Structure 1
Amino acid sequence: MIISDLKETDGRRFPAQRLTKNIAGGSALIQPENFSLGLVVLDPKGGQVPWHNHPQEEIYHILEGTGEMCVDDERQKIYGGQTVYIPSGKFHQLTNVGEEPLKMIYCYGPAGDVDHWRQELDGTLPKEGEDVPPLPEGAWPQCTKSAAGNGDNESE
């Protein structure tokens, strides 16, 4: 039996003001073949999973907090207890628009790495409206700042 304990997992901080802890897949002890699962905590007022897409289909289950969810040309608020389905290939972004941390669980399949984590850390995340399609009108701007602080962050 393999048990993954979030209390013993440091996780990784990302430039877009979030902490991600792998539960299954990635750096986690549990390595399933067909999906990846993790916990994400978005900092208040702007913490984000930036605008990106990937071939895996995915769900975000909001545990607590208030977010703005964008999927392709749709945008709406999402709250604790709600789950959003993201079809494969669709651009998506989640931003914490509340005063408290937003906590969510992601699950995508099939398992494997998603490019946007490395791109975000390297400051090479494709920019919405330039390299990739624009966000829906009125959406919180995409964070494209790198871990080293180079790049820009339109939300700061």
Structure 2
Amino acid sequence: MMASTADGAVPPDDPARQMVVAGRAAGDVRHIALAGNVYSILISGEQTSGRYCLIDMRIPPGGGPPPHRHDFEEMFTLLEGELEFIFRGESVRVGAGETVNIPANAPHFFRNVSEAPARMLCMCTPAGQEEYFLQVADRVESTDSVPPNLTEDEQRARRDKAADLAARYRTEIL
């Protein structure tokens, strides 16, 4: 719903907010490796006054996050490949060109069950998920970077950190 004034009028423009064109300036997109996936933060909450963030997600065969839930909306548009989404225990396969909306607080996760990499855009509203990812992931150079090959101890440390920070970012790992 659009914010409006008490009389229903559209509020004035906020000239402090700027248009953002992701990927145009060197270094404006942050790339991270998380659980074997490579995510690129295209638009951050800082750029949208916290309204939403947009993340380009590249998921290798077998990749995907653990089951989780959070108190914000999440929308995925699959650009390439095929993924299986598990939503409240029910499974659905999604292919390129399809969009999935996950309502706040619902348990869910996804897996790349195909033999090919998948790529999708993820929008979270309000923003904040990108900050959580930046706290727990490893920075990488680009979307084409290979995620670091972590030892079992390093993987455990990342999972522990994610679990410790989850509540701060309105997320629950299931």
In the TM superposition, what are the counterparts of 1:41-56 in structure 2 within 5 Å?
41-44=58-61, 46-56=62-72
For 1:109 and 1:147, the matched residues in 2 are separated by: 33
8 Å CA contact 1:20–1:40 kept in 2: the answer is yes
The structure with more radius of gyration:
2
Q: Check 1:36–1:42 CA distance in 2 against 1; reply closer, same or farther (3 A cut).
A: same
**Structure 2: 5+ residue runs without aligned partners?**
1-18, 138-150, 160-174
Corresponding position: 1:90 with 2:106: yes
Which residue of structure 1 lines up, in the alignment, with residue 123 of structure 2? 107
Higher helix share: 2
Q: CA deviation at 1:48?
A: 0.6
Calculate the TM-score normalised by the size of structure 2.
Answer: 0.61
Structure 1 partner of 2:39: 20
> Percent of pairs identical after alignment?
27
Could you tell me which of 31, 55, 74 is aligned with 1:11? 31
Name stretches of at least 5 consecutive residues in structure 1 with no aligned partner.
122-144
Correspondence list, 1:1-156, <5 A: 1-5=19-23, 8=26, 9-14=29-34, 16-25=35-44, 31-33=47-49, 34-44=51-61, 46-113=62-129, 117=133, 121=137, 148-150=154-156
3-state SS in 2 of match to 1:103: strand
Secondary structure of the 1:50 match is: coil
**TM-score relative to the length of structure 1:** 0.67
Q: SS where residue 65 of structure 2 aligns?
A: strand
Residues 147 and 77 of structure 1, relative CA distance in 2, 3 Å threshold: farther
